[in-house]
A and B are shown apart, each in its own frame.
Chain A
Amino acid sequence: MLFSSAIFLFLFLPFFLIIYYLLPRYWLGIRWTNAFLFGASLLFYAWGEGQVVLVLLLSVCINFLAGWLVEKGQRRTGVLLSLIGSLSLLFYYKYANFLVNLLHGLAENLALSVADKLTLAPIALPIGISFYTFQGISYTLDIYWGRIRANRSFLDYGTYVAMFPHQIAGPIVRYADIAPELTDRSVNLEKFGIGAERFIIGMAKKVLLANTFASVADTIFNAPADSYPTETAWLGIIAYSLQIYFDFSGYSDMAIGLGKMVGFDFKENFNYPYIARSIQDFWRRWHISLSSWFRDYLYIPLGGNRGSKIRTYRNLLIVFAVTGLWHGASWNFIVWGLYHGLWLLVERAGLSKQLERVWPPIAHVYSLLIVLIGWVFFRAEDLTSALVYLQKMVGLGSVSRVAFPLNYFLNTEVCVSLLLGIILVTPVYHHFQVIWNRLLLRAVVLPAQITLNMIYVVVGLVGLFVLSVAYLAADSYNPFIYFRF
């Protein structure tokens, strides 16, 4: 079930919220609220994934038990159980096919007789497994390092891991960040409103912007390389860069908004990454919950930058190779991760000092260009396609028949979306909020304040929501010329 689907918005969410808010907390206590949230989250997951919900539950059990073992003094056993148990699940579901195909190819190239036996039927990837695996590991390691105490309630811990707001697309919420709210949290109209506003903005980002960019990027990336010119290749990667940002940050906004509606405060996951002035800066702003996870649970345990330069560089490359691999089981992601890792090395080696001195727009252009080129590896079907696409971007490669000239894509909607997208990757909305709130402060009369608020809500937020839902409705509208029996 996606947040941006009719069944979630108009069936699951309203009925969930009605029951959630009507549960008599004072009589029953937070446990019942958590139990309901846990149960509803499992239903949410099972609705889309079916029996794979058992994998989620197994992961929950493994890490709950691991945390308990660490707390009881069996520290090594607990940590090993968490790491081996969680990562085994992740490895089997996400990387087994990749590894077997790799070995199969290797055996074929070496003409080994075992090549034919090295096959594995495709394994369906449980949605969100990368997120809940990392949450489980962070929980156990935080107990191991004495940062938190283990939760004695399986229900509370299960609620933390499985809660539907962050279940399938993050952010990677750490137990330490929401532990107090698991035992005591408030829900009220005001917080619900703040969450709803955030949710609507996230949905608009996803449905109105990301999906528009996706249709452009998909068309170009799926087209034969000889069917479009250089400028179209650039449009394709710009569209994809905007798509991935608005899609992912939109989903994070929806998750944060839903979290607020049920009384949780998740940390921010994006901070305008495309205004970064270096790749280091980019990774401080992009998918913050993931980059900080790798920093705290991999980079620092490896030694971080406490050793020699060579060791630091090694640690960086390991972290970014794994970061790439975390995104998906393919060489493209590994190359994308290493590519970012290498640029971080270059920056550490001295480029970052130069970037601090140059005119800021130059640093912005540098960062954007590096990130944009990196997205080609991320988006392309395979490494060969990525290299061909990069060649197109620099004007190499032939064009036999221009099926997709630039003007094929540049209709009013795409142009408006591109303009909005480019504006909204900067903190302009944040500045707008500041100005709007000042305007509210100047409106001393209550009716004026209410009028301004009504404009903001009805014209702005309600308008965005209705528009987003209209786009969802259009997605399911499938007319035929003649009656389709």
Chain B
Amino acid sequence: MIQIRSRIVAVSFAILLLLPTIDKLVGLSAWIQSTENRQPAPLPSFHFPHVRQFVVWFDQHYKENFGGRNALFYMYSRLKYKVLGQSPLPEKVVVGKEGWFYLGNSYNKVVDQHRGLVPLSDKEASQIAEHLTKRQQELAKQGIKFYVMIAPDSHTIYPEYLPDHLQQSNESSRLDVLKRAMVKTTVPFIDIRDTLLAAKRTHRVYYQTDTHWNDYGTLVGCVALLNRIRQDKPATPSVQQSDYHIKQWAGINGDLTRMLMLQDNVDEKIAYEIRPMHKLTSRETAVVPREKNPLPSHRFAGSGTDRLLFIGDSFSISMMQYLPAYFRESYFVRDGKLDDEAIHTEHPTILVLEIVERNISQLATF
């Protein structure tokens, strides 16, 4: 009896050990693609006497490329999410309530920031404020008006869907501390948390399955920014949400579910298609590749009088749909640093720096 079982185990185990090699040769699980958004470690070449280096690289290569790895993660991901109701990669993505997903701690400790475990000291906030004031003065000498805009994390706008054990502390958030420091300066500091919290009563403003704001949230953010700019630059065309036709639809999965390889299982319940009803239009005139940065810049022609240089992060991608219409020229750069070259080439009259809430410490080095 036991003999039969042992023989079955022996054969099964032998097959299991060989399966990844067979899969690599035949491509049994080739239909499951990685969603890692990176190149896996390549097969290293052997150069004597660098044996140790080869071993380390080969280890990494094999770990990331063995046959069936993606299929195994596909299975693992579903087991974790569907059976255990947990995030397959909790440090990358937090699974919230009612189909909400949030960015995890591997991105600048965003969850810990939200929970108040990584407070921003008054000293740090003052240093950032001083640095931004210095930048403002440098830019003013060149005739450029400088604005700083913070795109809130989805954790801040939709905390109610976070797991109970990750709720926000009652103490001042990092952004609150920075805002208090910025109030003492003359740098226009655009904090749109309250605007978005008010807007979410009528529309969804962030994606459930993505780390970013949706098109409606983007529009709210753009309107807030433009209204602030209009205070200094009255020639900027006026903007209202009613200028846009908003249509709701069921969206597609976002970056958070893609990271977990759950893109086929979780769909965005609410997304928006937003079209302008006014005559203000814009067109993209160039996509400019950049040195040392794989992300190109985008140039637009629009209807306003000012020239906008917009330096932002991934939250600025969707802003390119609306903002260019209000400026004669716009130039969008994906970066966290002041781009001197862009200033020389674009001659902006307005420079907007947009940064997501979890990265506000980076303002100290802008």
CA distance A13 to B258 in the complex (A): 34
Select from chain B the residue with minimum beta-carbon distance to A7: B62
Please determine whether A197 and B9 come into contact, CB atoms closer than 8 angstroms: yes
Asked if B294 and A17 sit within 8 Å, CB to CB, the answer is no
Q: Which among A227, A472, A476 has the highest number of chain B CB atoms within 10 Å? A: A476
Number of interface residues of A (CB under 8 A): 62
B3 touches A190 (CB 8 A): yes
A10–B13 CB distance below 8 A: no
- In whole Å, how far is A441's beta carbon from the nearest beta carbon of chain B? 7
Find out whether the CB atom of A465 lies under 8 angstroms from the CB atom of B5: no
A419 to chain B, nearest CB (A): 13
Known A-B contacts A403-B115, A479-B36; A6 and B5 likewise in contact (beta carbons under 8 Å) = no
Minimum CB distance partner of B255 in chain A: A481
| B83 (CB) vs chain A CBs: closest residue | A412
CB distance from A185 to the nearest CB of B (A): 17
Does residue B365 face the partner (Cβ distance < 8 Å to A)?
Answer: no
- What residues on A are CB-neighbors of B4 within 8 Å? 449-450, 453
20 further contact pairs, Cβ within 8 A, besides A453-B4, A481-B259, A482-B255:
A50-B55, A189-B7, A190-B10, A194-B6, A227-B117, A403-B115, A411-B84, A449-B1, A466-B16, A470-B73, A474-B76, A477-B89, A478-B36, A478-B38, A479-B259, A481-B37, A481-B107, A481-B255, A481-B314, A483-B294
Considering the complex, give the chain A residue whose CB is closest to the CB of B9.
A193
Complex CA distance for A50 and B117, rounded to whole angstroms: 41
Chain A hits for B17, CB < 8 A = 9-10, 13-14, 17
Q: What are 29 A-B contacts defined by CB distance under 8 Å?
A: A6-B63, A6-B66, A6-B69, A17-B14, A17-B17, A50-B51, A50-B52, A189-B10, A190-B10, A191-B6, A193-B6, A193-B8, A193-B9, A193-B10, A196-B9, A196-B10, A200-B13, A453-B1, A457-B5, A457-B8, A457-B9, A461-B13, A466-B16, A470-B73, A470-B79, A471-B76, A474-B72, A478-B38, A479-B35
Summed over the interface, the residue pairs from A and B with CB atoms below 8 Å come to a total of: 176
Give the residues in chain B near A411, CB-CB below 8 Å.
84-86
User: What is the distance, in angstroms, from A156's C-beta to the closest C-beta of chain B?
Assistant: 27
- Contact partner, B63, options A189, A465, A476, Cβ 8 Å: A476
Smallest CB–CB gap between B30 and chain A, Å? 16
Task: Name the prevailing secondary structure of the A interface residues.
Answer: helix
Most buried by A among B8, B70, B260: B8
Residues of B within 8 A of A9 (CB): 17
CB distance from B155 to the nearest CB of A (A): 15
Which residues from B are CB-within-8-Å of A482?
37, 255, 314
The smallest C-beta distance from A211 to any residue of chain B, in angstroms, reads 13
Find B69's partner among A47, A465, A476, A485 (CB 8 Å cutoff).
A476
A456 CA / B5 CA spacing, docked (Å): 8
CA distance A194 to B4 in the complex (A): 11
Q: Are B13 and A485 in contact (CB under 8 A)?
A: no
Contact check: which of B13, B256, B314 meets A465 at CB < 8 Å?
Answer: B13
Q: How many residues on chain B are close to A (CB under 8 Å)?
A: 68
Say which residue of B13, B21, B103 sits within 8 Å of A193 (CB atoms): B13
Is there an interface contact between B8 and A10, defined as CB atoms closer than 8 Å?
no
- Nearest B residue to A51, CB-CB: B52
Q: Is A484 an interface residue (CB 8 A)?
A: yes
Decide if B232 is an interface residue (CB 8 Å cutoff).
no
Counting chain B CB atoms within 10 Å of each CB, which of A193, A456, A472 scores highest?
A: A193
Q: State whether the Cβ of B164 lies closer than 8 Å to any Cβ in chain A.
A: yes
Contact residue among B7, B38, B84 (Cβ-Cβ distance under 8 Å from A484): B38
B164 near A407: Cβ-Cβ < 8 Å: yes
Of chain B, the residue at the smallest CB distance from A404 is B165
Say yes or no for B116: interface residue by CB 8 A criterion: yes
In angstroms, Cα B66 to Cα A465, docked, is 16
Which positions 408-450 of chain A face chain B at CB distance < 8 Å? Answer: 408, 411-413, 416, 437, 440-441, 449-450
Q: What residues of chain A lie closer than 8 Å to B63, measured between beta carbons?
A: 5-7, 476
Judged by a CB distance under 8 angstroms, whether B64 is at the interface is: yes
Q: Within residues 283 to 334 of chain A, which ones have a CB less than 8 A from any CB in chain B?
A: none
The docked-state distance in angstroms from the alpha carbon of A437 to that of B2 is 8
Q: Does A152 contact B (CB under 8 A)?
A: no
A196–B14 Cα gap in the complex (Å)? 9
Q: How far is the CB of A104 from chain B (nearest CB, A)?
A: 31
Q: Which residues of A contact B18 (CB under 8 A)?
A: 14
B334 to chain A, nearest CB (A): 9
B9-26 residues with Cβ-Cβ distance < 8 A to A are 9-14, 16-21
Which residues 43-102 in B have Cβ within 8 Å of A in the complex? 51-52, 55, 58-59, 62-64, 66-70, 72-73, 75-77, 79-80, 84-86, 88-89, 92
In the complex, the answer to whether B37 meets A479 with C-beta atoms within 8 Å is yes
The answer, yes or no, to whether A458 is at the interface (CB within 8 Å) is yes
Interface flag for B240 (CB, 8 Å):
no
Task: Given A474-B73, A474-B88, A479-B35, answer yes or no on A196-B8 (Cβ-Cβ < 8 Å).
Answer: no
